[in-house]
Structures are given as structure tokens and as C-alpha cells.
Structure 1
Amino acid sequence: MLSQRFSPLLLRTAVAGVLTTMAFQASADLSSRYTDADGDMVADIPSDESRWVDPSTLVFAYTPVEDPAVYADVWADFLDHLGEATGKRVQFFPVQSNAAQQEALRAGRLHVAGFNTGGVPVAVNCGGFRPFAIMAAEDGSYGYEMEIITHPDSGIESMQDLAGRQLAFTSPTSNSGFRAPSALLRSEYGMEADEDFETAFSGSHDNSILGVINRDYDAAAIANSVAHRMLARGVINEGDYEVIYTSETFPTTAYGIAHNLKPELQEQIQEAFFSYDWSGTPLEAEFANSGEAQFIPITYEEHWSVIRTIADANGVTYDCD
């Protein structure tokens, strides 16, 4: 097993109930632009060589964060390694939103990327994304937890106290920032968004965390790995917020490639991820704060099964055409 922490059938309370009572696993719903002859739920590499793309510059984007400039520096050494492995110039693309990242992939302007957990199925089905790697700890374990946080002086001490208050989500495609907490609140607490509590969309986990601390929101659903990194950088401090709910572990950001890159180039990119030496790099310094120390291989079919099921429980469909 690749992971010791990630257990897709053991999600806490309502999320666990949603998964165990589902009679089927949600499946991929690829756009008609793609084929899946091998049945692995991701777009095939085109069989027609004339459709292969071999750009002189590879464009890489990391999932949206509050300050993309910070992550341009974090990823710089890795992108130099990627350039050496592929013989390409590599450009960091500082996306401002999940929607912008998805659109760049679909339009062919993005070649290599890390998509947030809930955004991976959208990228796979609508953009031809082929995920192959995830960050993991030295022992191979990986993942993060969804937390619902509030300001210490908000008067919110339990999930029930969210009634009549404002809860911030990140974006509709986010797993921990929207889909998982929505399933939890609906099935365990009988609470519907904009009926039993007010909602807001902050755009990113960073924004949600800072919004709670600054009292822009009464509470927020976040990925705790983001909070851990913000704490380590001194952006926020211990005690700035309180946690009222913590889920079991979900897979974190998936790294992958556009389906129509030249097959040899796809192999070179994958090899670059798995051969990268993290020791003493900015990547190690940043992601050690959330326990990560290497890239390990994953498959969308296996490792995103729980995320597809949560999306299905929320009635998510992929009308990409």
C-alpha cells in the first residue's frame, strides 16, 4: 500500500455514512473530446501523432494560493530540475483561481500541474488531465484532513452552532473546501447551505483561514495542511482560530500532465517528479511543514475513488461539452 494514513472507507460520522451506504462507486464522465480505451478513467494519449503536443516551453501551475509569488520561489528548484530532465524551458504560471487553472488546462495553455483534491475530477473529465503523483511523507503516508474552524470569540463551539451563522467555503470544486463539508452538514446535521446557514466563497484555503481570523467569516471549511504551512511561515499563530470538526484523511494535491503531450515528453516529466532530490530545497522547507518529503505514484481510478463518491453524493456532474 502507498499510504498508511489514507483510509477511504473510514471517513468520520456523516461522510463515513455517505460512503458506506452508497450502493456504487461514482465513475468518470470524460468529455466526448477524449477516449478511454484502457478503462483507467483518464483520457488516453491520442493515437494520432499529429495531435501530440511538444511545446518549447512547459507551463506549470500549482493549485491557487493567496500569494502565488511565494510558491513561485518554492517551486523554482524543482522546475529547474524538470527543465533539465525534459530539455525544455519551464515557466511557473501563478493562477489566481481554480476556475482559471481549469480553463488554462482545457485551452491547452497548461502542460504540468498540481490540482487540488476536489478539482482533480474536473480536470480529468473536462481537461484531459492525467494525474500520476502525490506528495507523501518519508514512510509513504499522505493526505490531509478537512477541518471546520472558527474564531475563538465567535461563540461557535459545535457544528450545531453553525445554524444561522456564516460558513465560508473555498470554491465549488474543492473537496475539503466545499463538497465534503456539504455532505457532512446535510446528512449528519440536516443543515442545508443558504437555508440553515449563510455561505460565502473565499477563493482559497488561505483566504478562508485569514477571513476567520479577521472575523470576516464566522467559520470556514479548510484543508489543515494549508494551515500547517501558514503556521510554519509565521503568517498565522497558534490560537488564532479553533477547530470544531476534523475529518479522516483525504488524498492531497495530485500532480499530472495534459493528455496530448508527446508520449516521450510525458515519460520524461514523470521521471523528473520521481527522481527529484528534495534534500535542502525550498520544496522540502515548505512542504515539510505538512509532513511531505517525496513524490509517490498514484492512479486516479484507485486513489480518487472516495472523492468521486463524495462528489456523487453532492449531485456533481461533468457537463464539459
Structure 2
Amino acid sequence: MSKFSRRQVIGSLFATSMLFAAGSSFAQQQVLRVSAIPDEAPTELQRKFKPLGAYLEKKTGMKVEFTPVTDYAASVEGLINHKLDMVWFGGFTFVQAKVRSKDQIIPLVQREEDEKFKSVFITTSPSINKLEDLKGKTFTFGSESSTSGHLMPRYYLLAAKLNPDTDMKRIAFSGAHDATVAAVAGGKVDAGALNISVWEKLVSQNKVDTKQVRVFYTTPGYFDYNWSVRADMPAELRKKITDAFLALNANDPADKEILELQRATRFIPTKAENYKSIEGAAQNAGLLK
């Protein structure tokens, strides 16, 4: 082999090794950066994640850090821009991330409850008993990017031939499900819509007076939350994380605590195709940009 050709080979090998190193940087990192859409207070999200984070550390062999984000959009951008590695998305935020990344976001698991998730409409007004009664009233959604707090409630309002932007007196966005309950209970708005899971949790914790605030409409079921990662996450790590979630067993006391904090009976595999109807609803409502 000539000296010149040997240099070429060495250069080629060096370039290849640099590309490989760049491509395998994910596998070499020691920290799994996790976040969640801020659909509840930051302190509550941290509390819910703490035992799950410790569990994932044992199962993956990596340090797991929970990083709160300021809003729903930040969770999408954080995952796409490699600032986060795994995010708890709602159905709509998953669709936004999938579209923004050109299908480079993969949903791994969802709670069994997320196969048929629901939203509830609440009020303190005795004159509001069906969706059509919201005409001319004040109303609050949760976050603009929330599936259960905005997208699906809007979808069912439109199906009832009620356009919230033109048929209601005023609409607002509370930013979170618990904030929606507070706004309705405090008389800031006539009614609001939120995630059924948060509603049931607040009721069970006696944080809402059901003699004052009541549910007057519950939506049909739809696919919602999931844990998502980027497609560049090594398959081996994806499998470790997926297997860890699927292994959670309510008969084990430690696992039961994790599942209860996640408001889950168990986790099951999911796939992008499950969220086609969410994507369609977002497009029909003009919310997918």
C-alpha cells in the first residue's frame, strides 16, 4: 500500500470514527433527562415522579433527572432539540412533537387508562346542564396545547355546534387542570373543561366541594397520554425503559406506590398510529401548526 493511500485510509477511518462517536453520544451519556407537560403544579409533578425516577435509575443503570418545563411548548421543543430525552406528553403534544420532528418522536408506553381517556366539563351554575347551555357564558380551557383540557373539549363543543370563539361570552386558558377547577370554583368563569383523572384525584383528596362544583358533561373516550422519546435513542435503552414500565406490578408494594402516583393500573405498549384521531381533531380545529 502506498504512503498516500495509507493516509487516505487513516483519514477515512478517523472520519468514520468521529461520525460513530457523534452518533453514539446518546449511549455514552450518564444522565437520562426526563420531563412532563406542566398540566399540574410543578411541586406535584416532582412529587409524582420521584419514586418512578428512582425505579428507572435501577432499571437503566443511568442517573435520571426530572427537569420541569415552563409550558407545554417547552416540553415539545426540549425533546426535539435534544435538551430532554424522554417526556410525558398528552396526545396533542405528542402529535405536535411528531409533526415538528418529521416523525422522529416515538411513543413507548401509555397507561391502560389512556386508551379511553376522557375530559369532564364542570360548572357551579344550575342553569348549565348540557354543552349547548354554554352559549353566551364565560368558559376556561386548560393549556392551549392540552389534549384533555383544550383540544378534545373544543372538538366536542364544535360537534355540538357550539363555537367557543364566537358563541361564548369569553374564553380563557387557565394553564393547568387544577387551575381550571380553581377558576370555576372561584366564580371567575361559568364553566370549564379538564382531564377526568385530575378531577377524580382532586375529589378524592377533598380539594373540591362537589356540592358547589359539579360535572355536567363527560366526553367519549380517546387516546391520550404517553411516555415518548426521540428516534435516535439507542434501541437497547428504549427496550430497557419500555420493559421497566411494563414490569410495574400493582401487587408489589413499591410498584403500587409508583402506579398510584401515576394514576395508573398498569402501563401498556403504544404506537404513533393510536394518535391519528387526535391529529385529525387538531387539524379540524385549526390547532396544528
After TM superposition, is the score higher than 0.5? yes
Return structure 1 stretches of 4+ with deviation > 4 angstroms: none
Note the residue ranges of structure 1 that are not aligned, 5 or more in a row. 1-46
Q: How many residues end up aligned between the 2 structures?
A: 263
Higher Cα Rg, which structure: 2
1:284 to 259, 273, 286: 259
Identity, in percent, stands at 23
Equivalent of 1:305 in 267, 270, 276:
276
- Cα deviation for residue 202 of structure 1 reads 0.9
Unmatched runs of 5 consecutive residues or more in structure 2 = 1-18
State the distance in 2 between where 1:235 and 1:226 align: 11
Q: Distance in 2 between matches of 1:230 and 1:246?
A: 16
CA offsets, 1:135-172, max 9 Å, x none? Answer: 126xxx84321221111x46323322212211111223
Superposed CA deviations along residues 236-282 of structure 1, whole A, max 9, x for unmatched, are 24334122221111223111212222232222222222223443343
RMSD: 2.3
Q: What is the CA–CA distance in structure 2 between the aligned matches of 1:130 and 1:246, rounded to whole Å? A: 29
2:195 alignment partner AA: A
2:71 to 88, 94, 97: 97
Q: Of the candidates 33, 48, 63, which is equivalent to residue 74 of structure 1? A: 48
2:265 paired residue among 284, 288, 293 = 293
Within-5 A mapping of 1:130-209: 130-136=106-112, 142-151=115-124, 153=125, 155-189=127-161, 191-197=162-168, 198-209=170-181
Name the SS for the 2:91 alignment partner: coil
Structure 1 length as normaliser, TM-score? 0.74
Q: Is the 8 A contact 1:229 1:287 kept in 2?
A: no
Cα pair 2:79 2:229 within 8 Å, conserved: no
TM-score by length of 2: 0.82
Following superposition, the deviation at residue 49 of structure 1 comes to 7.0
Give 1 or 2: higher helix fraction.
Answer: 2
For 1:17, the equivalent position in structure 2 comes to none
Secondary structure of the equivalent of 2:175? coil
Note closer, same or farther for the CA distance 1:215–1:188 as it changes in structure 2 (3 Å cut). same
* Secondary structure in 1 matching 2:260: helix
Secondary structure at the aligned position of 2:39 is classed as coil
Amino acid at match of 2:106: R
Distance 1:184 1:66 in 2: 23
> Structure 2 CA distance, aligned partners of 1:82 and 1:293?
18
Alpha carbons of structure 1 residues 245 and 262: separation in structure 2 relative to 1, 3 Å: same
Structure 1 residue matching 2:88: 3-state secondary structure: strand
1:287 Cα deviation after fit: 4.1
Kindly indicate whether the alpha-carbon contact (under 8 Å) linking 1:154 and 1:218 is maintained by their aligned counterparts in 2. no
Paired with 1:223 and 1:61, the residues of 2 have a C-alpha distance of 19
Aligned to 2:210: 238
